[in-house]
Amino acid sequence: MSEIVTSPAFKENARAALADVDLQQALKSVEVNFIAKRRASADKLPEFEALRDAARDIKDHTLAHLDLYLEAYEQRLTAAGGQIHYAVSAEEARAIILGICRKVDAKTVTKGKSMVGEEIAINAHLESHGITPVETDLGEYLIQIRGELPSHIIAPAVHLTKAQIEADFRRVHTHLPADRNLEEHTTLLAEARAVLRERFLAADVGITGANFLVAETGSSIIVTNEGNGDLSQTLPKIHIVLATIEKLVPTLEDASQILRVLARSATGQEMSVYTTISTGPRRPDDPDGPGEYHVVILDNGRSSMLGGDFQDMLRCIRCGACMNHCPVYHAVGGHAYGWVYPGPMGAVLTPSLIGVDKAGHLPNASTFCGRCEAVCPVRIPLPRMMRRWREREFERHLQPATMRYGLAVWAFLAKRPRLYALATSAAAFGLGWLGRAKGRFRSLPLAGGWTRHRDFPAPEQRTFQAQWRGRKRR
């Protein structure tokens, strides 16, 4: 597990995020760009909704028979000359990867974008053992030079403005002329490309994630927009695929079905620019490719989600649509969530992986507006599962005492409609009378959370039920 967990401080993180002018500026692009593009590409495809059903069904089927597909995958992979490693925990995965790197005395490792890599904090581990990891996805490269976690699962540096990126490049790329032009997006890109190109050629090991592991062929599939994944996996002597158990799909046909909703849901593209399938190491007549091909399959708590309340979360294909459509994510960005996975998918997955005692805020920090579920390409019932986490917290008495007592008082009344009517009638009369001159309150005791930011309307002085019964009597 990544050591940097600030999820318990979600409230403080959120407050800081709301006050961060650069972040607020950068977050506008999430709200504007991703949503309209997804909408347009979904609207263009008449079968889009049917494809979402198909994607959900493929994942459900695979999860129901995960053991079978895992075995089949291992067989095909081994037959193709690949080596498989199973890691129960993040620690085990780190040790396996370090072991492979050490065998070839690796000095630098290039990395394609991998959220699982973030989950196990592989970079810090390699660095502490004298191996230099180089992120090759532009967004990942940016957060690496800033020492940050990704703030979005497909756009890791979406929290940055162009001005911040320019400043970081000037700070880190000191070998380049100080007066160079970095005003344009294109000049920034060109500089990153030039810097990274040298690193690709020097790398001893390449690590990538996987969007899919295909049982039928023993292949792994990655999708990228920059082609960096291809260079990370074909140039070095060794390619390590780091993936979690739920990435399996039965066949290439299944993978291509899901690909049809993946990019559309993520960026609104019909397909990502590069879809790369790799199966084992370089064969004798291949022009290039790695000499060794390793797949590290990580569990890290996922197998315990199978058969339980949170199994549906394992359908997730990491498109990011849920956070792109989340009003809370739009307000605070990804870092506030305090670990690797932000937004609605993180609010469900993070408690499963690091514990609800640490991540308890995440499933609570949702208005249950349901937009995430409405756009999820594999139809994960995200709000329902966040509510499940709240139930776990309630059972374990993890919520603040004030909330528990408040709820208990309310529940006592709500279960007794006559008493409830008396209490609300008295309160309506009192509040209504107090507020009669202005029609609303600028501040109210015990309601500071509300009235710090908005007025509270004064009730009409008699409740509806009291008025209704009064009319009936007349």
- Contact set with other proteins (CB under 8 A): 11, 14-15, 18, 327-328, 330-332, 364-371, 373-374, 384, 387, 389-395, 399, 403, 407, 410-411, 413-418, 420-421, 424, 427-428, 436-440, 442, 447-450, 452-460, 462-465, 467-468
Would you say 29 or 465 has its CB closer to other proteins?
465
User: How far apart, in whole angstroms, are the C-alpha atoms of residue 326 and residue 321?
Assistant: 9
**Cβ of residue 116: shortest distance to other proteins, in angstroms?**
29
Q: Which residue has the tokens 């082609």?
A: 227
Closest among 342, 308, 361 to 10, alpha carbons compared? 361
Q: Which segments of 30-161 does DSSP mark as H helices, in order?
A: 35-44, 48-64, 66-79, 90-103, 115-119, 122-128, 138-146
User: How far apart, in whole angstroms, are the C-alpha atoms of residue 242 and residue 107?
Assistant: 19
**Cβ of residue 60: shortest distance to other proteins, in angstroms?**
18
Would you say 130 or 433 has its CB closer to other proteins?
433
Would you say 75 or 443 has its CB closer to other proteins?
443
**Cβ of residue 333: shortest distance to other proteins, in angstroms?**
11
H/E stretch holding 205? strand 205-208
Would you say 200 or 329 has its CB closer to other proteins?
329
**Secondary structure (3-state) at 26:** helix
Token duo for residue 71: 């075995």
Would you say 102 or 438 has its CB closer to other proteins?
438
H/E stretch holding 392? helix 382-395
Rg (CA), the chain: 26
CA terminus-to-terminus distance, the chain: 69
Would you say 71 or 405 has its CB closer to other proteins?
405
**Cβ of residue 469: shortest distance to other proteins, in angstroms?**
8
Would you say 175 or 452 has its CB closer to other proteins?
452
What number of other Cβ atoms are within 10 A of residue 230's Cβ? 19
**Cβ of residue 455: shortest distance to other proteins, in angstroms?**
4
Contact 97, 122 (CB under 8 A): yes
Distance of CA 314 to the CA centre of its chain: 13
**Cβ of residue 359: shortest distance to other proteins, in angstroms?**
14
**Cβ of residue 115: shortest distance to other proteins, in angstroms?**
24
- Whether the CA torsion 326, 332, 337, 339 is positive or negative: it is positive
**Cβ of residue 190: shortest distance to other proteins, in angstroms?**
36
DSSP for 247-309? GEES-HHHHHHHHHHHHHHHTS-SS-SEEEEE-SS--TT-SS--SEEEEEEE-TT-GGGTTST
Distance of CA 214 to the CA centre of its chain: 23
Contact 296, 241 (CB under 8 A): yes
Residue type, 411: A
**Cβ of residue 358: shortest distance to other proteins, in angstroms?**
17
Would you say 31 or 166 has its CB closer to other proteins?
31
Would you say 65 or 384 has its CB closer to other proteins?
384
Would you say 12 or 67 has its CB closer to other proteins?
12
Contact 314, 302 (CB under 8 A): yes
**Cβ of residue 146: shortest distance to other proteins, in angstroms?**
24
User: How far apart, in whole angstroms, are the C-alpha atoms of residue 177 and residue 285?
Assistant: 44
**Cβ of residue 360: shortest distance to other proteins, in angstroms?**
10
Would you say 145 or 413 has its CB closer to other proteins?
413
Contact 375, 344 (CB under 8 A): no
**Cβ of residue 275: shortest distance to other proteins, in angstroms?**
32
Find all residues with CB under 8 Å of 249, minimum gap 6, and list them: 58, 59, 62, 69, 212, 213, 214, 215, 255, 258
Would you say 48 or 86 has its CB closer to other proteins?
48
